[in-house]
Amino acid sequence: MRRFAPVVLAAIAGLLLYVTFPPRELPWLAPLSLALFGIAVHGRRLRAGFGLGLVFALAYLVPLLSWTGVDVGPLPWLALAAAEALILAFAGMGIAYVSKLPLWPLWASGVWIADEALRARFPFGGFPWGKVAFGQPSGVFLPLASLGGTPLLGFAVVLCGFGLAALALRVKKVRASGDVRVLRDRGVAAAAAFTVAPMIAGAAAMPLVATGAEAGTARVALIQGNVPRMGLDFNAQRRAVLDYHVRETMKLAAKIKAGTVKKPDLVLWPENSSDIDPYVNMDAYEEIQKAAEAVDAPISVGAVVTDKNGDARNQLILWDPKTGPGATYNKRHLQPFGEYMPYRSFFRIFSKDVDRAGSFVPGKKAVVFDMAGTKIGNVTCYEAAFDDVVRDQVDEGAQILSVPSNNATFERSQMTYQQLAMDRVRAVEHGRAVMVPVTSGVSAVIRPDGSIAQKTGMFEADTLVADVPKRTTKTLATRAGVWPEALLVALGVGGLAWAVVRSRRGRGRAA
């Protein structure tokens, strides 16, 4: 039973980390999860660390990513979870290796962030879903996102957890030695410091999270038109989706005319709100133009278009009520196996569903829309998971961030809530209000401190109208860019290098 105890502990730790993520909001459980995992792998050999890391990762990622199997079955879901779990298992191996070093929670936390950095980039452009930071849309650690982005936020949570593990292990060892002076032990003091310091840092950073308007406010309307039905087949009724969003916008226009709602400065439609190319189909063009003229405000329209080179684009179009379509933003970070299919012929061997994936071409640059004097930074759906894509829009001058999304494909799964948590973390990271217009919900208005001011239900037509602060100051996280991640990765790599040197010296002395 003692041999199986670490396996059980790793599995419990993985499930516990999954529970911290939305639709539940239990961020304080994450350090406890990582403490259990730290105890499970502490002092283990490399092979055991890898195996325990794999058990932990599967218990964590299989339920977390269950939404990827909606409408396409369990094979893609389990394949993705297994691939991501294998990468995370290397973190388990690395953490086990550095756990014999002095101050091991520090090096182990760096190893964890290095592994997250790898998962965010490899394979197929990376898949950052499930970063520890994205399970922290509230709580004491969240303000740290404004200082060092998701890497620092994740590092703080992990360090707290591993510090707690080190504290429990050290207290047990001191007591076993018969020494009653537990509180005077240096190891206990160091472990306690690692546990408490991240929470103190988070509390100290709280006053740095600013929410006030710096360039006035903008009245923003978010349109959630809804879709005819859930799942991948909703695309078969593309015209109906467009009609739904036009209809909801016309309802808003009627309320403005009646004086029950104040006229918005700008209107945001979700991703895929017009899967009919308005440059080619004049009926779609006329419907969007009609809606823009009715509300007398610019609309950001999510459309699927074919450019002059014949390439399919997932595009946002800035639609002016007087001049029609203008500036555009092409989604840059496309979703593999959804918006495009890598190695299509190979993966077709396993599933014919690969032919349902698109053939989109990514954009190349950040584009901020000037909407009636308000600069809107565009981050289309899946892109919210990638640090650099969001940061680029703020660097480009965004005063408000917009994350238009289409979650109808994933029905009522927890995907929508997991993505909304990401958007809340991004708000704090960059000190910007974040607007989330979604075809079928949950649409939301997020304040710069990560709290939700307004939100809709799922699979219902609705409109949100809010006065939103326009902010221009860049947070330290925005200005620092990739450096916090690079430094934390270097910390982990440095710990691994030290462990290698110690191991070789130990073998040399033994010889």
Peptide bond into 484 cis (omega under 30): no
Contact 136, 418 (CB under 8 A): no
Select which of 160, 287, 339, 381 is catalytic.
Answer: 381
Closest CA to 438 of 249, 268, 320: 268
Longest dimension (CA), the chain: 89
Residues 198-211: pLDDT tens digits? Answer: 999 999 999 999 99
- Runs of H (alpha helix) within 20-101: 29-41, 46-64, 74-98
Contact 293, 287 (CB under 8 A): no
Peptide bond into 198 cis (omega under 30): no
Whole-number pLDDT of residue 229: 66
Is 381 annotated as catalytic? yes
Contact 35, 165 (CB under 8 A): yes
Place of tokens 């969007």: 288
Q: How many other β-carbons are positioned within 10 Å of the β-carbon of residue 126?
A: 18
Is 365 annotated as catalytic? no
Closest CA to 200 of 249, 157, 255, 140: 140
Whole-number pLDDT of residue 6: 94
Whole-number pLDDT of residue 279: 95
pTM: 0.94
Which two structure tokens, joined as six digits, stand for 148?
């060092």
Whole-number pLDDT of residue 233: 52
Residues 6 or more apart whose CB falls under 8 angstroms from that of 338 comprise 357, 358, 409
In angstroms, the Cα distances linking 24 to 109, 317, 417, 448 are 25, 35, 9, 21
Contact 297, 268 (CB under 8 A): no
Select which of 271, 287, 339, 485 is catalytic.
Answer: 271
Closest CA to 437 of 417, 462, 413, 418: 462
- Rounded to 5 degrees, φ, ψ at 402 are -125, 130
Do you know the residue count of the chain? 511
Whole-number pLDDT of residue 510: 64
Residues 6 or more apart whose CB falls under 8 angstroms from that of 256 comprise 262, 263, 295
> Which H, E and C letters describe 229-258, residue by residue?
CCCHHHHHHHHHHHHHHHHHHHHHHHHHHH
Distance CA 120, CA 114 (A): 10
Contact 210, 473 (CB under 8 A): yes
Whole-number pLDDT of residue 28: 95
- DSSP of 106-125, one letter per residue? HHHHHHHHHHHHHHTTTTTT
Select which of 331, 375, 455, 470 is catalytic.
Answer: 331
Closest CA to 160 of 34, 17, 43: 34
Query: CB burial class (10 A; 0-12, 13-18, 19+) of residue 310?
Result: exposed
Distance CA 453, CA 466 (A): 8
Distance CA 110, CA 107 (A): 5
Residues 468-480: pLDDT tens digits? Answer: 999 999 999 999 9
> Which H, E and C letters describe 371-384, residue by residue?
ECCEEEEECCHHHH
Is 331 annotated as catalytic? yes
Distance CA 366, CA 332 (A): 8
Residues 6 or more apart whose CB falls under 8 angstroms from that of 108 comprise 38, 94, 95, 98, 99, 158, 162, 492, 495
Contact 241, 273 (CB under 8 A): yes
Whole-number pLDDT of residue 501: 93
- The pLDDT averaged over each successive group of 10 residues in the chain (511 residues) is 88 98 95 98 96 98 93 85 97 97 97 98 92 97 98 98 96 74 78 96 96 96 87 61 96 97 97 93 95 98 93 96 97 88 72 74 96 97 96 98 92 93 98 97 96 96 98 98 98 97 78 60
Contact 255, 295 (CB under 8 A): no
